């Protein structure tokens, strides 16, 4: 059987080094704060679920399908497993249903944490049944210790107080990463063969964060016949759509159009897994923009048939002879500044018993005004525990442009560092390493709700060409905990310096830092005002108050921002003269944004 990849093995060996670079377990999961717009719960049928019961968690949701499950404290995802049976798993950890630690102060292992409970299932019509599932410890997450465990229970009855009684039927102690293990449980006892049978998985873990991961996949309950448990007979996608661009996950549309051949990958490395299914599998991909088909593969015919060997014989299947080709014209659009495409992979069932839900794989390729190495999801937090340390991210332009903003995702942690300043820095290139400092300004970490990046608007756009770097220089030895995407290794472009020179980051992944270019006109802090409309600010700098004076009386909307782009005050200005008081503002640099029918204007003010 195919072994775990060298990349993942190397990563695990780095995890607990006492180096200046540090990655930390997340203490929350912002994705679980994004509650789904579920249909009315009344849609649940009053009767029990009929056989077969099957859920492989291949749907695009972070929550279990409520038509199958009664609770939702697990995390449905495609980020944490290694070689799943089919794409998507349910992950058990130390976080509750809202993505927060059960007990942030808890340090003891082996405490009761998540559960996943089936809805009632009708087993009254069968003489025996079987429950099949696969599990993996750790994966790309945190390994459960021996005090931790994954447990399967059956509902065995109701006690005298009317409370359910659960019976342990299987369990496994904590361990490190391994292949997914198959478990089958035969159900023959009469006390389970009734119309309201239920089972549940639960785990024991450390309750103070995103610790002690277990992943389950392909849970199936069906009638046990002919004295054997049949194979699952399914061919499925394994991972998310691979990266379509050679270097980035996302990039500005205007930059992509300058070098489509150089920026787009030549081939597509789709991964399939044959779980005792058919060997002859038809495959195709389609590309859509605004629901209009703009590209189809194969270029001749509807599908390309491939022979996919069984997983126990060859491991995962990759398209290599020949590969799946990508034409540099697959993304066609009349847009001049941004575009979004739906890239859809499809395989047709190998047999009538094949589970179809995992046979379609959708990916949205976004071309906007930013560069991104990351996929938008953090599995860990990254930091450096050295005062003055620098981290620099390399990017390269196809044509000259202007940097107007830097987006950063800071992972919320118990050691809140939002009051600790850092320097936001832009460098030019020096033979493949960060060179001269082009821009620096001091700001603070900002934690955004859910999994959102914070927008750090620069005091003025910075003209750039060719290779440049954006990043952070620390003012203390506190770790700032930038989000780290484990699934997008980009270490050839990630540099850090703790005082002895630049080095590549040792932790495979991608920092969640994104530069945003000037794809649309913006007004800098040093622009020249229209001569017919003037703004005077005096005194500037000031201690207690300053006067803002305009040469016209207009309906002005005035906003005050700090240097990180946070809106502090918002008011209307009906006169041509206005007094701005300091009140509780701290000493530092701020920006006024004034909007009226003459345009949008910004002015820098300084409080002493």
3-state secondary structure 41-62: HHHCCCCCECCCEEECCCCCCC
Dihedral (Cα; 19, 22, 23, 28), 10-degree rounding: 140
| DSSP summary character for residue 319 | -
Contact 303/283 with Cβ under 8 angstroms?
Answer: yes
Which 3 state secondary structure label does DSSP give 31?
helix
How far is 56 from 43, CA to CA, in rounded Å? Answer: 22
Which class does domain 35-230 fall in? mainly beta
Contact 486/390 with Cβ under 8 angstroms?
Answer: no
Contacts of residue 371, defined as CB under 8 A and 6 or more positions apart, other chains included, come to 248, 250, 251, 252, 395, 514, 515, 517
pTM: 0.79
* CA distances to 104, 474, 478 from 415, in Å: 11, 16, 9
Burial 569-595 (b: 16+ CB within 10 A, else e): eeeebeeeebebeeeeeeeebbbbbbe
Contacts of residue 183, defined as CB under 8 A and 6 or more positions apart, other chains included, come to 132, 133, 134, 135, 152, 170
Dihedral (Cα; 352, 219, 73, 202), 10-degree rounding: 180
Give 186's Cβ-side CA count (13 Å radius). 10
Q: What is the CA radius of gyration of the chain?
A: 28
Which 3 state secondary structure label does DSSP give 6?
helix
Contact 283/346 with Cβ under 8 angstroms?
Answer: yes
Which 3 state secondary structure label does DSSP give 504?
strand
Residue 130's pLDDT is 97
**Which residues is 485 bridged to in the sheet?**
510
CB atoms within 10 A of CB 214: 33
* CA distances to 371, 425, 539, 554 from 533, in Å: 36, 33, 20, 10
Write down the residue that tokens 């058919």 correspond to. 278
Which 3 state secondary structure label does DSSP give 88?
coil
How far is 208 from 108, CA to CA, in rounded Å? Answer: 9
Dump the DSSP string for 364-412. Answer: EEEEESB-BSS-S--SEEEEE-STT-EEEEEEE-SS-EEEEEEEE-BPP
Low-confidence stretches of the chain (pLDDT beneath 50): 1-18, 38-43, 352, 520-532
| Cα dihedral sign, 589-595-596-599 | positive
- Helices (DSSP H) in 165-294: which residue ranges? 253-256, 260-263
| Cα dihedral sign, 267-270-271-275 | negative
- Fold assignment, 535-607: Immunoglobulin-like (2.60.40)
CA angle 588, 592, 596 (to 5 degrees): 180
- Fold assignment, 237-367: Immunoglobulin-like (2.60.40)
| Cα dihedral sign, 479-483-489-493 | negative
| DSSP summary character for residue 197 | B
Which 3 state secondary structure label does DSSP give 8?
helix
Burial 394-428 (b: 16+ CB within 10 A, else e): bbbbbeebebbbbbbbbbbbeeebeeeebbbbbbe
Contact 544/582 with Cβ under 8 angstroms?
Answer: yes
| DSSP summary character for residue 208 | T
| Cα dihedral sign, 109-112-118-121 | positive
Burial class (CB in 10 A: 0-12, 13-18, 19+), 91: buried
Write down the residue that tokens 């015919």 correspond to. 301
Contact 516/404 with Cβ under 8 angstroms?
Answer: yes
Contacts of residue 361, defined as CB under 8 A and 6 or more positions apart, other chains included, come to 87, 237, 240, 241, 270, 344, 345, 346
Contact 476/21 with Cβ under 8 angstroms?
Answer: no
Task: Name the residue ranges covered by the structural domains of the chain.
Answer: 35-230, 237-367, 380-517, 535-607
Residue 554's pLDDT is 65
CB atoms within 10 A of CB 6: 8
CB atoms within 10 A of CB 90: 27
CB atoms within 10 A of CB 361: 22
Which class does domain 380-517 fall in? mainly beta
Dihedral (Cα; 590, 592, 593, 595), 10-degree rounding: 170
Domains 35-230 and 380-517 share a fold: yes
Residue 147's pLDDT is 95
């Amino acid at each position: 059987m195919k072994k775990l990849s060298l990349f993942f093995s190397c990563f695990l060996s780095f995890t607990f080094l006492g180096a200046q670079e540090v990655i930390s377990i997340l203490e929350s999961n912002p994705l679980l704060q994004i509650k789904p717009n579920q249909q009315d719960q009344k849609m649940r049928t009053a009767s029990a679920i009929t056989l077969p019961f099957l859920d492989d968690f291949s749907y695009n949701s972070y929550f279990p399908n409520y038509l199958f499950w009664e609770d939702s404290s697990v995390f449905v995802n495609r980020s944490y497993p290694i070689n799943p049976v089919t794409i998507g798993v349910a992950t058990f950890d130390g976080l509750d249903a809202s993505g927060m630690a059960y007990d942030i102060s808890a340090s003891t292992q082996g405490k009761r944490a998540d559960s996943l409970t089936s809805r009632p299932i009708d087993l009254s019509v069968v003489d025996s049944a079987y429950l099949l599932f696969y599990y993996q410890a750790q994966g790309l997450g945190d390994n459960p210790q021996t005090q931790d465990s994954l447990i399967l229970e059956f509902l065995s009855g109701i006690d005298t107080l009317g409370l359910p009684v659960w019976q342990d039927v299987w369990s496994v102690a904590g361990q490190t990463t391994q292949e997914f293990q198959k478990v089958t449980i035969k159900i023959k006892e009469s006390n389970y063969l009734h119309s309201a049978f239920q089972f549940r998985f639960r785990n024991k873990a450390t309750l103070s964060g995103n610790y002690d991961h277990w992943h389950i996949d392909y849970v199936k309950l069906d009638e046990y016949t002919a004295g054997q448990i049949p194979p699952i007979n399914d061919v499925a996608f394994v991972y998310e759509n691979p990266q379509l661009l050679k270097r980035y996950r996302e990039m500005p549309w205007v930059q992509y159009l300058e070098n489509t051949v150089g920026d787009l990958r030549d081939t597509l490395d789709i991964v399939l897994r044959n779980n005792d299914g058919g060997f002859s599998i038809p495959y195709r991909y389609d590309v859509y923009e605004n629901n209009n088909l703009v590209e189809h593969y194969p270029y001749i015919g509807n599908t390309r048939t491939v022979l996919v060997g069984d997983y126990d014989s060859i491991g995962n299947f990759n398209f290599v002879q020949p590969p799946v080709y990508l034409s540099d014209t697959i993304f066609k659009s009349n847009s001049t500044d941004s575009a979004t495409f739906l890239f859809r992979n499809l395989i047709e069932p190998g047999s009538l018993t094949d589970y179809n839900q995992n046979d379609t794989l959708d990916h949205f390729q976004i071309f906007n005004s930013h560069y991104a190495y990351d996929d938008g999801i953090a599995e860990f937090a990254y930091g450096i525990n050295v005062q003055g340390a620098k981290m620099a991210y390399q990017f390269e332009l196809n044509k000259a442009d202007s940097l107007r903003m830097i987006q950063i995702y800071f992972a919320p942690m118990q050691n809140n560092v939002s009051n600790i300043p850092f320097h936001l820095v832009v460098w030019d290139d020096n033979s493949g390493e960060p060179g001269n400092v082009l821009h620096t300004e001091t700001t603070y970490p900002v934690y955004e709700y859910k999994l959102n990046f914070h927008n750090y608007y620069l005091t003025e756009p910075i003209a750039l060409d060719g290779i440049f770097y954006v990043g952070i220089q620390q003012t203390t030895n506190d770790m700032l905990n930038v989000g780290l995407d484990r699934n997008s290794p980009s270490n050839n472009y990630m540099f850090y310096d703790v005082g002895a020179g630049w080095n590549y980051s040792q932790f495979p992944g991608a920092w969640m830092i994104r530069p945003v270019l000037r794809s649309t006109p913006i007004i800098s802090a040093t622009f020249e005002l229209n001569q017919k409309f003037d703004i005077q600010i005096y005194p500037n700098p000031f201690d207690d108050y300053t006067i803002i004076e305009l040469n016209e009386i207009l309906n002005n909307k005035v906003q005050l921002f700090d240097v990180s782009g946070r809106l502090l005050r918002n008011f209307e200005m009906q006169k041509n003269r206005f007094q701005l008081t300091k009140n509780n503002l701290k000493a530092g640099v701020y920006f006024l944004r004034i909007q009226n029918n003459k345009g949008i204007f910004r002015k820098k003010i300084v409080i002493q």
